[in-house]
Structure 1
Amino acid sequence: MLLRSILTQVKQLIPPLDGSLHKGQSGRVGVLGGALDYTGAPYFAAISALRFGADLSHVICSPTAASAIKAYSPDLIVHPILRADASPEQVSPELKSLLARLHVLVIGPGLGREPYMQAFAKLALSLARAQGMFVVLDADALWMVGQDVALIKGYRRAVVTPNVAEFARLSDQVGIDPGAPADQRAGLLSRALGGVTVLQKGATDIISVDTTGDAADLEARLPGADPAKEKAQETVEVDVEGGLKRCGGQGDVLSGTVGALLAWAKCYEDGVFGDKSIPASRYPLLAAAGASIVTRTASRRAFFKEGRGVVTQDMLPEIGKSFAEVFGEDAQGQDKGKL
């Protein structure tokens, strides 16, 4: 019942497909990552955002990765501005201008741990926070956060998407008791990060956000509730069936789809569509839940077709179909009887 209620709210963040919106008003997503050895991850994140329904998808990467990413798809807008021989101060004006045109920034796919790429990721996160952007952090952006939790602590417009190993490492870095109940650890991590939404990937995806002091979020979840008597956390478990083969790159698909939903949430927040009845404090959790369900569904559909040999590339054509399966054909703008 809780998941059904969550999906009802997610549907309010989906832009209408009735011809009323212009290019870019259904989401402009940025993915920052992509160094010499890592070109697939930013591609999968960026193209998944488009397959989910975002209008425009940008990849901000190093020049060594740009040609490969461009060759993967002409639909992506590639910015090879993260040069190893440039300082963050030199890149900052161009990066700041670029971020001002986006609704959300996904940091981490293919980022790597080279000092220059990590420095640019820190710069991008700082600029995004200053501009009030929604952000998604995955892969080596989580390693970056673990080195300095202050980079993200208290920024409630952020979602982190750790896998099993990343979750264990980050939990240890912020001092979470490893003996804590497994179903409570995501909430404890969210609390340690100051209310950042945590999407803990696993056999069941656990999404949790610490809502301490967030009266608007409580009212949206439980109208008329007494804050003093309610838990200061919200946790959603997504056990929707996925594929039986966990191929590398599926996490990048997830970060891209979370980014697409957050881009829509920003458009909703700006009044481009919808009635703005959902408070902004709920957008990260709703985006994480909706994206988790669609990504797991795409994984299942791809595995059904390809079996043991499934690869991440096989998931891409299934994203739109999975979106329709989860949210209904009407959310795709396809009324019955019409094509």
Structure 2
Amino acid sequence: MPVPRAIFEQIKKLIPPLDGSLHKGQSVGRVGVLGGALDYTGAPFFAAMSAQRFGVDLSHVICSPTAAGAIKSYSPDLIVHPILREDNSLESVHEELQSVLSRLHVLIVGPGLGRESYMQKYAKTAVSIAREKGMFIVLDADGLYMVGETPAIIKGYRRAVVTPNVVEFKRLSEQVGVDPNTPSEKKAEMVSRKLGGVTVLQKGPKDIIATDSTGDEASLEASKLQNSDPEFEKAKEVIEVDVQGGLKRCGGQGDVLSGAVGTFMAWGKCYEDGAFGDHSIPASRIPLLAAVGGSMATRTTSRLAFSKQGRSVVTQDMLSEIGKAFAEVFGEHPDVKL
């Protein structure tokens, strides 16, 4: 089942034009990835580098000093902030996070985060700051573990997307209280409802993107105030993406997806701020559109990488296919009128 044409055309409106009219930093977005502990350096790199390859202006990685050296060595294109020290005070890290996040449009939380208490504590702090600033947020991997343990950290914040795989989705749906007898095709929207309208990108043989804020009036009212969106009443949507992907699911593909979704959200923030576009898309739709666009692009990237590498494909192979995949899905230079 193809993505509805109307949705596809709205996604294309979020893509900044490459016509020379916009200067560096004005419209292509600045993305931050919070993650990277001692044993996990690849995941934040793949998320941040994928965002760079999809077309953001700058990618920042906010990580532990134990991961910073490795991540810096992977690419000089990334800006690395080794501020998540285990022995730092929360007040000190809070101040540094405030400074870094003030420069960003989107925060991706979870790739390589780990479950150490200090990393989880700093992640919660970062999400709170991002919410205060009205940033878009993507939560994946151990960021989802944080959400499951403390749903209030993100509940009712409709500028967020969660991207669980099969195992993560099962755990998260149980943690937020979805009835296990709910039909499988309805569970994504139920998780969204339990989280107060947060967009859910349920990864699988086909990706299901759902948003439903109809069942929690308290979260609905809070989210109305947070988003100030005149078209907020469009509160429930479910989109399936069955674009062909690669036949091998390599570890790290989810990080590429996080980077892709984060890219579209960064563009959406620039669109919302008036850098380009016709202002016809309300802010409340940007997370859903970003999730659909990121899913389509990532699945196509996976297919192209697999077609070259076959059984030996690894996530690193996907990075060089991102540009081709984007052009295949959305066109080389999508027509976005100013």
Displacement of 1:331 in angstroms is 2.5
Provide the C-alpha distance between the structure 1 equivalents of 2:207 and 2:132, rounded to a whole number of angstroms: 30
**In the alignment, what sits opposite 1:11?**
12
The 3-state SS of whatever aligns with 1:216 is coil
**In the alignment, what sits opposite 2:22?**
21
The 3-state SS of whatever aligns with 2:60 is strand
Q: Is residue 324–residue 332 contact of structure 1 (8 Å, CA) maintained in 2?
A: no
Alignment of 1:233-312 (within 5 A): 233-312=236-315
Q: Is residue 49–residue 259 contact of structure 2 (8 Å, CA) maintained in 1?
A: yes
Code of the aligned partner of 2:48: A
1:320 to 295, 303, 323: 323
Alignment of 1:179-190 (within 5 A): 179-190=181-192
Give the alignment's TM-score, normalised by structure 2. Answer: 0.92
The 3-state SS of whatever aligns with 2:231 is helix
1:86 to 74, 84, 88: 88
Q: Is residue 17–residue 333 contact of structure 2 (8 Å, CA) maintained in 1?
A: no
**In the alignment, what sits opposite 2:54?**
52
Code of the aligned partner of 2:77: D
Answering whether residue 129 of structure 2 is matched by residue 127 of structure 1, we say: yes
Measured against aligned partners, the alpha-carbon deviations of 1:131-190 in whole angstroms (never above 9, x if no partner) come to: 110000000010011111100100000000000000000100111112211111000000
Measured against aligned partners, the alpha-carbon deviations of 1:30-69 in whole angstroms (never above 9, x if no partner) come to: 0000000000000000000011010100000000000100
Provide the C-alpha distance between the structure 1 equivalents of 2:48 and 2:100, rounded to a whole number of angstroms: 16
Code of the aligned partner of 1:180: T
**In the alignment, what sits opposite 2:76?**
74
Structure 1: 5+ residue stretches without partners: 220-231, 334-339
Q: Which runs of 4+ in 1 moved over 4 A?
A: none
The 3-state SS of whatever aligns with 2:204 is coil
Displacement of 1:330 in angstroms is 2.5
- 24-33 vs 208-217, which moves further: 208-217
Q: Is residue 192–residue 213 contact of structure 2 (8 Å, CA) maintained in 1?
A: no
Q: Is residue 17–residue 332 contact of structure 1 (8 Å, CA) maintained in 2?
A: no
Displacement of 1:211 in angstroms is 4.3
Structure 2: 5+ residue stretches without partners: 215-219, 225-229
Alignment of 1:99-178 (within 5 A): 99-178=101-180
Measured against aligned partners, the alpha-carbon deviations of 1:215-244 in whole angstroms (never above 9, x if no partner) come to: 71556xxxxxxxxxxxx5200000000000
1:216 to 231, 242, 263: 231
Measured on the aligned residues, the alpha-carbon RMSD in Å equals 1.4
The 3-state SS of whatever aligns with 1:331 is coil
Give the alignment's TM-score, normalised by structure 1. Answer: 0.92
**In the alignment, what sits opposite 1:32?**
34
Provide the C-alpha distance between the structure 2 equivalents of 1:171 and 1:154, rounded to a whole number of angstroms: 16
Provide the C-alpha distance between the structure 2 equivalents of 1:260 and 1:314, rounded to a whole number of angstroms: 19
Q: Is residue 211–residue 234 contact of structure 1 (8 Å, CA) maintained in 2?
A: no
Code of the aligned partner of 1:42: P
Measured against aligned partners, the alpha-carbon deviations of 1:72-100 in whole angstroms (never above 9, x if no partner) come to: 00000000000010122111111101101
How many equivalent residue pairs? Answer: 321
- 50-59 vs 89-98, which moves further: 89-98
Code of the aligned partner of 1:100: S
Provide the C-alpha distance between the structure 2 equivalents of 1:307 and 1:137, rounded to a whole number of angstroms: 30
Displacement of 1:332 in angstroms is 9.2
Q: Is residue 18–residue 333 contact of structure 2 (8 Å, CA) maintained in 1?
A: no
Code of the aligned partner of 1:197: T
Measured against aligned partners, the alpha-carbon deviations of 1:257-293 in whole angstroms (never above 9, x if no partner) come to: 1001100000000000111110001000000000000
Provide the C-alpha distance between the structure 2 equivalents of 1:217 and 1:97, rounded to a whole number of angstroms: 31
Answering whether residue 55 of structure 2 is matched by residue 64 of structure 1, we say: no
Q: Is residue 137–residue 161 contact of structure 2 (8 Å, CA) maintained in 1?
A: yes
Code of the aligned partner of 2:8: L
Measured against aligned partners, the alpha-carbon deviations of 1:112-142 in whole angstroms (never above 9, x if no partner) come to: 0011101100000000001110000000010
Provide the C-alpha distance between the structure 2 equivalents of 1:330 and 1:46, rounded to a whole number of angstroms: 22
